């Protein structure tokens, strides 16, 4: 019997954390597993060496991000099998490739990239356009305004 498998992109952003949480909840419902991936890119140029952490530092940073996110989600979903890995490459491409034999690919709507699209982040857009599997895009959290919170609290008190 094939296990229901979900691949999820994790990048240290609130949207990525929500995507991992959503994936773990779905894996629990479907008695499946989660493969959490943090994909990092390393240009390998001299300028990148001067400006960044270097290839080993970037790998360690990606590992720290995915391991911390998985540890956090495991507290709520201890019964769900969640694997964590850091992979070098283009995030959209690597996530889509990893999900080629999965049941579902889950990504956050916006990550930690330098540029944000108006509606959908570039990795999420790439996955939606290129993945061969169904893709779920989990929206970024939206903080409630103080006025909305006050109205809800007053309504709940009555």
Spatial distance between the Cα atoms of 154 and 130, rounded to a whole number of angstroms = 46
Tens digit of pLDDT for each residue in 13-30?
Answer: 899 999 999 999 999 999
Q: What average pLDDT does this structure show over 56-82?
A: 95
Tens digit of pLDDT for each residue in 91-150?
Answer: 999 999 999 999 999 999 875 444 444 445 688 888 888 888 999 999 876 665 444 445
Spatial distance between the Cα atoms of 45 and 68, rounded to a whole number of angstroms = 29
Q: Cβ(83)–Cβ(35) under 8 Å? A: yes
Model confidence at 33: pLDDT above 90: yes
- Where do runs of H (alpha helix) occur along 12-145? 14-29, 46-51, 54-76, 91-98, 122-130
Reading the block at residue 101, the tokens are 């034999």
Tens digit of pLDDT for each residue in 111-123?
Answer: 544 444 444 568 8
Closest Cα partner for 91 from 5, 16, 14? 16
Spatial distance between the Cα atoms of 38 and 20, rounded to a whole number of angstroms = 11
The CATH number given to whatever domain includes residue 109 is 3.40.50.620
Q: Look at the chain and report how many structural domains it folds into.
A: 1
Q: What average pLDDT does this structure show over 6-12?
A: 96
For residue 140, what are the domain limits? 5-157
Model confidence at 81: pLDDT above 60: yes
Look up tokens 């929500």; give the residue.
18
Spatial distance between the Cα atoms of 136 and 104, rounded to a whole number of angstroms = 7
Spatial distance between the Cα atoms of 80 and 152, rounded to a whole number of angstroms = 34
Which residues are registered as beta bridge partners of 137? Answer: 107
**Torsions phi, psi for 52 (to 5 deg):** -115, -160
Reading the block at residue 44, the tokens are 């390998």
């Amino acid at each position: 019997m094939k296990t229901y498998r979900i691949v999820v992109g994790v990048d240290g952003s609130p949207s990525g954390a929500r995507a991992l949480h959503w994936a773990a909840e779905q894996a629990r419902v479907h008695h499946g597993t989660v493969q959490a991936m943090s994909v990092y890119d390393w240009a390998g140029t001299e300028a990148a060496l001067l400006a960044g952490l270097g290839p080993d530092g970037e790998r360690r940073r990606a590992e720290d991000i995915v391991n911390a996110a998985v540890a956090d989600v495991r507290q709520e979903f201890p019964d769900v099998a969640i694997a964590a890995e850091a992979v070098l490459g283009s995030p959209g491409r690597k996530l889509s490739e990893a999900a080629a034999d999965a049941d579902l690919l889950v990504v956050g709507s916006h990550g930690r990239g330098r540029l944000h699209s108006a509606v959908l982040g570039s990795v999420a857009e790439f996955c939606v356009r290129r993945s061969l599997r169904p893709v779920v895009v989990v929206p970024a959290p939206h903080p409630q305004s103080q006025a909305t919170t006050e109205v809800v609290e007053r309504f709940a008190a009555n």
